[in-house]
Amino acid sequence: MNGEQWAAISARIDAERETARDRAKARGEEYATVLPGISWDVGAPMPHLFSSGHRTFVLFRPHQPTPGWDGTWSRPVDTTDPARVGLSVIEFVLTYSVRFGGPNDEALHGHPLSDRGLEPYRAHEVHNSSWITEAERINSVHSGHLGGWHRRMRHYVLTFHDQTLECLAKDLRLEQLTCAFPEAVGQVAAML
């Protein structure tokens, strides 16, 4: 397949996703939109999750173009390497709940949002989230329950190569680090 053919297929898939998002939005159903400015290494993002209840962080290798890379070779990644590298950390602010595990990129089409805008290797926000609705319904039996969770909480989905991370939180913040991966693990753990 040449570059033009790949671009045409990619454009068609993007158009289909946008149509699916628009259709779900018009029906008041949940759908995912891509968050701009957040990207990671597609092949080996190496996401590491840190959570202590209300504070949650994910450390990962960001997308960094490799000059001369043509897709025919790969470079092994070792998270114990002491070399300084560029890394990214997302903090989920006021986390309510977090899920981390499957599906991976090969089973992402089985995710309930796969036909509603969810894309591989991207960060998303879910609108009209059924998970927020469910969490609010469960919490509604609490004597101090305050409704309106869809106004105050956001549902994020990060689709990495081998894992998917979903989080209900008030907001997120992205930070860049330059250090060895083991050092970054220590820095993030200290923020909990």
Give the pLDDT confidence score for residue 39 in this predicted structure: 95
For residue 124, list its beta bridge partners.
34, 157
Encode pLDDT of 83-116 as tens digits.
899 999 999 999 999 999 999 999 999 999 999 9
Which amino acid is it at 99? R
Give the pLDDT confidence score for residue 68 in this predicted structure: 77
Give the pLDDT confidence score for residue 104 in this predicted structure: 94
Sequence spans of domains, the chain: 3-64+79-190
- Residues 137 and 135: their CA atoms lie apart, in Å, by 5
Residue 178 has pLDDT above 80, yes or no: yes
Contact in structure between 49 and 186 (CB atoms under 8 Å): no
Residue 176 has pLDDT above 80, yes or no: yes
Picking from 172, 190, 1, the residue whose alpha carbon sits closest to that of residue 88 is 172
Residue 71 has pLDDT above 90, yes or no: no
Q: What is the overall mean pLDDT for the chain? A: 93
Q: Which residues contact 47 (CB under 8 A, 6 or more apart)?
A: 40, 58, 59, 60, 100, 158, 160, 163, 165
Give the pLDDT confidence score for residue 94 in this predicted structure: 96
Residue 74 has pLDDT above 80, yes or no: no
Encode pLDDT of 115-156 as tens digits.
999 999 999 999 999 999 999 999 999 999 999 999 999 999
- Residues 100 and 58: their CA atoms lie apart, in Å, by 10
Higher pLDDT, residue 36 or 3:
36
